Amino acid sequence: MAGDRRDGSLAGSLLRRGLRRARSATDRVLGREGQGTGTARVRFELPDGQSIDADVAAGTRLLHAAMAEGIDLSHYCGGTCSCGTCRVEIRGDARGLSPLEGREQLVLGFEAMQRGDRLACQARVLGPVSVRIPKDF
């Protein structure tokens, strides 16, 4: 009987720890830890050389910000991080975006990561950033 209670409290403890970690990760991504709160400016450099500036809410994915501005950004998988067609090139400082995570790294590949490319369906805007949309993915 005592063993059952201990197992339950251990499971509860692990669950609470997991929830704290998940909240902390979410807070970092959404900018609740002092960076990226409010709105941020995104500059989209289009394949034809034009630029569009947009103010977006912190935590918005680049793909959704582009779509809200009427920018045609390929995303064949529907934004599920499985095709890589929403790849964008980051211009300048990438600190205005959420950090790269495992699945995005796998889809991008080593060379694209080294260039500083990101997947618009995964990168969240935390601060000012400039991205170039390539002609072809």
Domain count, the chain: 2
**pLDDT value at position 35?**
45
CATH number at residue 47: 3.10.20.30
Question: 21 and 49, same structural domain?
Answer: no
pLDDT of residue 107: 96
Is 5 contained in some domain? yes
Query: Across the beta sheet with 129-132, what order do the strands follow?
Result: 51-57, 39-45, 129-132, 87-91, 117-119
Q: Are 27 and 93 in contact (CB under 8 A)?
A: no
Task: Report, as ranges of residue numbers, the positions in the chain whose pLDDT lies below 70.
Answer: 1-37, 137
Tell me what pLDDT residue 136 has.
74
> What confidence score (pLDDT) does residue 135 get?
86
Give the structural domain span for 116: 39-132
Look-up of token digits 């991205």: 131
pLDDT for 10 equals 65
Q: What's the whole-model pTM score?
A: 0.72
